[in-house]
Chains A and B, each alone.
Chain A
Amino acid sequence: MLRRAVGFLDERTGAAPFARKALRYLFPDHWAFLLGEVALYAFIVLVATGVYLTLFFEPNTATTTYHGSYAPLRGVEMTEAYKSVVDISFDVKAGLLIRQTHHWAADVFVAAIVLHLMRIFFTGAFRKPRELTYVIGVLMLLLTLPEGYLGYSLADDLLSGMGLAIGYAVALSIPVIGGNFALLLWGAPFPGDETFWSRMYIAHVFVFPILIGTLLAVHLALVASRHHTQFGRRGRQSERQVLGVPTFPGQTPRSLGLFFAVAATLFLMGGLIQINPVWLWGPYHVGESTNGAQPDWYLGWLIGALRLVPDFDVVIGDRTLVPNPFWGGALFPMVVFAALFAWPWLERRVSGDRRAHNVLDRPRDAPWRTAIGAGFLTWVFLIFFAGAADRIYVFLGISYISQIWAYRALVIVAPFAVLLVTRKVCLALQRAEAIEAEQEEAEHEAERAAAEPAVTSRG
């Protein structure tokens, strides 16, 4: 039976040789290598739940009155977009489950990409011949940020509407072209013209997913083409020989198991833990705002930056040249991503290492890279935490103004401190290993010497 099915397909597609190669492709075995898969599976859940949501969401800002089952909003005027999201949450069966799963999947997707990126960075997997794979990966990360932002802004609730205003301000703040750029995107001064919402919608459900999906396919093809990297063990793994588990039968149940574990986690969260309860926030109005408004976590680094930059616009006379949000909202992320994109070439330049590498470094084996990476991460993380300083104040009572000053000092000092400490730790770990290796050598020598019969003493 199986033979006949395989025969049918192969005769019509010529796929058997490829399938045979693919089925026995070897995956080096390490838990950290599965983080990229977690991201991939979260993306699949995103697309599946997203398609479902498109069947019910109304990307339209015409005003309407709510008459659904959530009492505190009955009789309230709101846009069709907001109303459709409240309807999905209360009046479409399984609607809230799918909506929440979709939103949790987005948060987890970006988190998985970040973890995966950290693994790639700290093990040096971005080196030749995989620089292109790495660049595509960073590009995907860059694309997921606006994709998620657009996604939760589509609901037109009070929180995300405030977020759109801030996005508008950041676009405006770009020197010279800011006004033109913001007007291009919004079609008119904030809150934008009548087509803005459907443009956001098309960008979110079509343009960005296609871009990310295509890049993902290329990324995976490149990974397979250049083959996965591996850690070097003494003996069988090397720059020439890859040691791993074949796709079939070994890797398939593991990958499938991971996929269903990701799906399970996301659906359990989607059903049991509330996320973005837009019915509580109410619809967005230009003249309204609420305390405690925050963007989704993957944009938290930007709100932190916006709060930390001291109050100045760059002015000449009374004309503003560089409005305040530019530094934290636009320049900061540009610098971070420029650094990420450029890193493989920066490292090549500085280290002089232009060889191809199939064997990974353990973080301790590359002290400078690990230290710089740790310092850089510290910088970004501190700015990220600064974004939640007001909730820390509400929760722990630590003065907001003091926190801001403390963070301003820390973001300058701490990365260097972490860099130096990390480098020391790596070197110390290396030394400890070297000593241990010497000891083992010595012990083996001793054993061998003891096992040998009558050793003739040398002169």
Chain B
Amino acid sequence: MSGKASEIPRAPGFTCATAVAISVVVSLALLAQPAPGQPPSGIVHPKNQRGMSLHELGEQLFAGNCASCHGSVGQGIENPRPNTGAGNTTGQGPDLRGVGAIAPDFYLRTGRMPLTSPGEKPERHAPFFNDREIRALTAYVASLGKGPPIPRPRPHGQSLSRGLDLFTDHCAGCHQVVGEGGYVTDTNVPVLDHATPREIAEAVRVGPYLMPSFSKRDITDHDLNAIVAYVRHSRHPTDAGGLGIGHIGPVPEGMVAWAVAGFVLVGVCAVLGSRLRKS
């Protein structure tokens, strides 16, 4: 036999495994939702804001960023029609007359507005406007009709057990009992870690997007304070048992059981036993 060293064929398993891995990553990427963004024309910030009064600023901001969907005087647009102003959004949006200051303050401070397109799901985002602009826009929208003011929740000293009771009754089905977020058919429900007391109170009263809205009859101010206190507490729940690993129960627990115990204990077995050696 000649001395030529023939190559040992590479097991197709290797290339197969890589192909599988690549296709998994690609399909995950394809299935992922596009991230929300600014209006296609971009946020319009009027020049020379310092020189403007709050009302003027609010008017200009509204005209440049909101009127395409909410109408030139905030009357709302029920049936979508092409925008006549800047950008090419087909305008469609609710009537803002009478929503007061509470709704615009919530949506703007949590970056849920403006949307890129009317059908987009509002999601939490860094605010698109600075504080003065938000106050201006809020004041402007509030001036369109009489509506509820920005709430001032007082969560201090409230009963956490009352908060847990109320939160479980009204909120946990969507938001998960310690606010870790969840799913409702066709939309996700946000995690509550970043919500400030004001935002929590606003969301409860406004009922943004698909969330039910609770008036003072449904949840009194006193009860709302308890809910706010509970939500704030649940940002850092009592982790007497150690690492919280997500506070949603068995899914991360199962992963930890397999990863930690699996690695560690199979590793110990590997140290103890011999490998299959060819003698």
In the complex they form, whether A and B have CB atoms below 8 Å apart is answered with yes
Stretch from A179-187, A205-213, A275-283 that touches the partner: A275-283
The number of chain A residues with a CB under 8 A from chain B is 91
Which chain A residue shows the least CB distance to B34?
Answer: A397
Tell me whether B45 is interfacial, beta carbon within 8 Å.
no
Residues from chain B with Cβ under 8 Å of A76 in the complex: 161, 164-165
Q: Which of B141-174 contact A (CB under 8 A)?
A: 159-161, 163-165, 168-169, 172-174
Query: Does A55 make an interface contact (CB < 8 A)?
Result: no
Task: List chain B residues, Cβ under 8 A from A257.
Answer: 268, 272
**The residue from A233, A406, A425 contacting B12, defined by CB atoms under 8 A apart:** A425
B191: A residues at CB distance < 8 A: 394
Contact with A along B164-189 (1 / 0, CB 8 A): 11001100111111101111011011
Instruction: Judge whether B31 and A282 touch: CB under 8 Å.
Output: no
Q: Indicate if the CB atoms of B251 and A70 lie closer than 8 Å.
A: no
Q: Does A297 contact B (CB under 8 A)?
A: yes
A233-B278, A273-B256, A288-B169 as given contacts; A398 in contact with B31, CB under 8 Å: yes
In the complex the two chains form, what is the Cα distance from A328 to B243 in whole Å?
33
A432 to chain B, nearest CB (A): 6
When the two chains form their complex, are residues A397 and B32 in contact, meaning their CB atoms are under 8 A apart?
yes
| In the bound complex, CA of A29 to CA of B168 (Å) | 54
B245-264: which residues lie under 8 A (CB-CB) from chain A?
245, 247-251, 253-258, 260-262, 264
Q: Is the CB of A71 within 8 A of B178?
A: no
A402, B265: Cβ atoms closer than 8 Å: no
CB-CB nearest in chain A for B276: A231
Contact check, B8 vs A34: say whether CB atoms are below 8 A apart: no
Cα A159 to Cα B176 in complex, Å, equals: 11
B189 touches A296 (CB 8 A): no
Given contacts A76-B165, A290-B168, A297-B257, contact A100 B275 (CB under 8 A): no
Q: Does A64 contact B (CB under 8 A)?
A: no
CB neighbours (8 Å) of A416 from chain B are none
Residues in A whose Cβ lies below 8 Å from that of B254: 107, 296-298, 300
Whether the Cβ atoms of A274 and B249 lie closer than 8 Å is no
Residue of B nearest to A163 (CB): B250
A277-B164 Cα distance, complex, nearest whole Å:
15
Kindly list chain A residues whose C-beta atoms are within 8 Å of the C-beta of B255. 297
Q: Which residues in B have their C-beta under 8 angstroms from that of A158?
A: 168, 172, 177
A224 and B51 alpha carbons, distance in the complex (Å): 91
A122 within 8 A of B: no
Please indicate the chain A residues that have their CB under 8 angstroms from the CB of B238 in the complex. 70, 72, 277, 279-280
Q: A280's contact among B183, B247, B261, by CB below 8 Å, is which?
A: B247
What residue of chain B has the Cβ atom nearest to residue A231's Cβ? B276
Q: How far is the CA of A360 from the CA of B162 in the complex (A)?
A: 62
Determine whether B28 belongs to the interface, using a CB cutoff of 8 Å to chain A. yes
Given contacts A289-B172, A296-B253, A429-B13, contact A72 B160 (CB under 8 A): yes
Docked complex Cα distance between A198 and B161 (Å) = 28
For B87, list chain A residues within 8 Å (CB): none
Query: Which chain B residues border A362 with CB–CB below 8 Å?
Result: 276
A330 at the interface (CB under 8 A from B): no
A233 touches B277 (CB 8 A): yes
Q: Is A19 an interface residue (CB 8 A)?
A: no
Q: Is A351 an interface residue (CB 8 A)?
A: no
Q: Is the CB–CB distance between A275 and B241 below 8 Å?
A: yes
Smallest distance from the beta carbon of B242 to chain A beta carbons, Å? Answer: 4
Instruction: Tell me whether A34 and B243 are in contact (CB under 8 A).
Output: no
Report the Cα distance A258→B267, complex, angstroms: 11
A21 interfacial contact with B, CB 8 Å: no
Q: Looking at the complex, which of A2-10, A108-116, A168-176, A215-223 is the stretch in contact with chain B?
A: A108-116
Stretch from A126-134, A319-327, A340-348, A435-443 that touches the partner: A435-443
Q: Which residues of A contact B16 (CB under 8 A)?
A: 421, 424-425
Tell whether, in the assembled complex, residue A402 and residue B272 are in contact, meaning their CB atoms are under 8 Å apart.
Answer: no
**Does the CB pair A277–B237 fall under 8 Å?**
yes
In chain A, positions 255-288 with a C-beta closer than 8 Å to chain B are 257-258, 261-262, 265-266, 269, 271-277, 279-282, 288
The verdict on A234 contacting chain B, using a C-beta distance below 8 Å, is yes
A235 to B278, CA, bound (A): 10
Contacting residue for A272 out of B27, B242, B247, CB 8 A: B242
Q: Which of B5-29 contact A (CB under 8 A)?
A: 6, 8-9, 11-13, 16, 27-28
Q: Does A334 contact B (CB under 8 A)?
A: no
Partner of B261, one of A71, A111, A397: A111
- Which of A135-143, A188-196, A385-393, A451-459 interfaces with chain B? A385-393
Picked from B173, B244, B261, the residue with its CB within 8 Å of the CB of A290 is B173
- Are B257 and A431 within 8 A (Cβ)? no
Give the residues in chain A near B264, CB-CB below 8 Å.
261, 265
Q: Judge whether B126 is part of the interface by a CB distance below 8 angstroms.
A: no
B177 A258 Cβ-Cβ under 8 A: no
CA distance A192 to B140 in the complex (A): 58
Given A261-B265, A265-B264, A399-B33, verify A30-B273 contact (CB < 8 Å).
Answer: yes
Determine the distance from Cα of A234 to Cα of B276 in the docked complex, in whole angstroms.
11
Q: Which residues of A contact B32 (CB under 8 A)?
A: 396-398
The B57-93 residues at the A interface (CB cut-off 8 A) are: none
Contacts of B268 in A (CB 8 A): 257-258, 261
Instruction: Answer whether A108 and B261 are a contact pair too, CB < 8 Å, given A257-B272, A273-B242, A288-B169.
Output: yes
Give me 6 other A-B pairs in contact (C-beta within 8 A), A279-B240, A394-B181, A432-B9 excluded: A75-B161, A100-B241, A107-B253, A277-B240, A290-B168, A397-B33
List, sorted by A's number, 25 A–B pairs whose CB atoms are closer than 8 Å: A30-B273, A35-B269, A38-B265, A75-B159, A75-B161, A100-B241, A254-B272, A257-B268, A272-B242, A274-B243, A276-B249, A277-B240, A292-B249, A295-B250, A296-B253, A296-B254, A300-B254, A394-B182, A398-B28, A401-B185, A401-B186, A428-B12, A428-B13, A445-B1, A446-B3
**Top 9 A-B residue pairs of the complex, sorted by shortest distance between their CB atoms:** A297-B254, A291-B182, A31-B273, A274-B241, A107-B257, A72-B160, A425-B13, A34-B269, A290-B177
Name B residues whose Cβ lies closer than 8 Å to a Cβ of A: 1, 3, 6, 8-9, 11-13, 16, 27-28, 31-33, 159-161, 163-165, 168-169, 172-178, 180-183, 185-186, 188-189, 191, 230, 233-234, 237-245, 247-251, 253-258, 260-262, 264-266, 268-279
